[in-house]
Amino acid sequence: MSTLRPGRLLAALLLLALPALGAIVVACGSGGEPASSASPAASGPISVTDDSGVEVVLDQPAEAIVSLAPANTEIAYAIGAGDRMVAGTSYDDYPEEAKALPKIGDFANPNVEKIASFSPDLVLAASGIQDKLRAKLESLGMSVYVIDPTTYDEVVATILNVGRLAGAEDGAQAVADAMAAAREEVRAAVAGLPAASTFLEIYSEPLMTAGQGTFIDDMITIAGGENIGATAGSGFPNFSTEVLVKVDPAVYIADSGSMSEPGDISERPGFAELTAVKKGRVYVIDDNLIARPGPRLADGLRRLLEYIHPEAQDAQ
């Protein structure tokens, strides 16, 4: 049962949900499934609004969940709903148990027939290239919750919503509390410090960054950075090397994963003149730490603090 409401869709975020774009250890202490995750069964229908602005209603907590993105799978296991997972994508690689899930294809090309064969009462989807898939799944009687947060706090809210739908509210609340604690810890550490101009590289060829309206942009701000990528627009825009050299960020952070290997940044044409290169402020981060919208973003936030304001990290 769905009621359409206005919502924001961020297609490029899907690329960041791939395992190719990162690796985060649940700072909150959720490296897998909590020892006790079951919440009391909800009485009456469960109603939440997903990140695309659609109301998702279940008569009772989901018992069979299919995930269409690695980040979604991580959330389910982190909150203690791993035992309700019946299928995932070929990219699911965290936690270790997720690798053994039956596969419905990759996240760019999920197989509708395979998804239906598991008779899920909840499908955790992503936006962008999966937008048209929702109508197909709902026409077959499946309930679909789209995960597409654009801020750190929206990731936390999404986790709480999935917890309600999966009957794992206690586990979801524990993860949410730990993520909130990480946010407040980082905010306190940078309070009063000047924002450091920061460029975050998503891809090197072409040079791509995180712009406005992304949770990565939000995390850089929380960690005391001034996101240079925000000047290029919203989503995940390409960024001119010439402009990069001109704005000369104080901190340069590059994603590294199976689809993104930055190599020696100082050897790139023109990069040797960057202040970040000259002062040794170039860092490579495992992209799941900041790319997958899930519990491990808490560790990503702490890592950004370490890179952007090492003096604050040392003072802790």
Kindly state the percentage of the chain with pLDDT values over 90: 79
Question: Which two structure tokens, joined as six digits, stand for 107?
Answer: 């996240």
Q: What is the residue type of 160?
A: L
State the pTM of this model. 0.85
Q: Each residue of 75-118: pLDDT tens digit?
A: 999 999 999 999 999 999 999 999 999 999 998 899 999 999 99
State how far the Cα of 194 lies from the Cα of 47, in Å rounded to an integer: 42
pLDDT category at 1 given cuts 50, 70, 90 is: very low
Q: Environment class of residue 105 by beta-carbon count within 10 Å: exposed (0-12), middle (13-18) or buried (19+)? A: middle
Find out whether the peptide bond into 206 is cis, omega within 30 degrees of 0: yes
131 pLDDT tier (thresholds 50, 70, 90): confident
Judge contact between 309 and 283, C-beta under 8 A: no
Chain centroid offset of residue 302 CA: 15
Q: How far is CA 223 from the centre of its chain?
A: 16
Q: What is the pLDDT of residue 186?
A: 98
Residue 234 is given by DSSP the state B
Structural domains of the chain ordered from first start = 2-181 (3.40.50.1980), 192-315 (3.40.50.1980)
Other CB atoms within a 10 A radius of the CB of residue 185 amount to 15
Can you list the alpha helix ranges (DSSP code H) found in the chain?
Answer: 13-16, 70-78, 112-117, 131-139, 152-166, 169-190, 215-222, 241-247, 275-278, 288-291, 297-308, 310-315
Q: What is the spatial distance between Cα 27 and Cα 302, in angstroms, rounded to a whole number? A: 9
- Alpha-carbon gap, residue 131 to 14, rounded angstroms: 11
Look at residue 316 in the predicted model and tell me its pLDDT.
60
How confident is the model at residue 108, as a pLDDT?
A: 87
Q: How many CB atoms lie within 10 A of CB 284?
A: 17
pLDDT at 107: 83
DSSP conformation letters of 170-209: HHHHHHHHHHHHHHHHHHHHHTTPPPEEEEEEEEETTEEE
With cut-offs at 50, 70 and 90, classify the pLDDT of residue 28. very low
Question: Over the stretch 192-225, which tens digit does the pLDDT of each residue have?
Answer: 999 999 999 999 999 999 999 999 999 999 999 9
Segment 60-67 shows an average pLDDT of 98
Give how far Cα 273 sits from Cα of 194, 226, 244, 247, Å: 23, 20, 11, 12
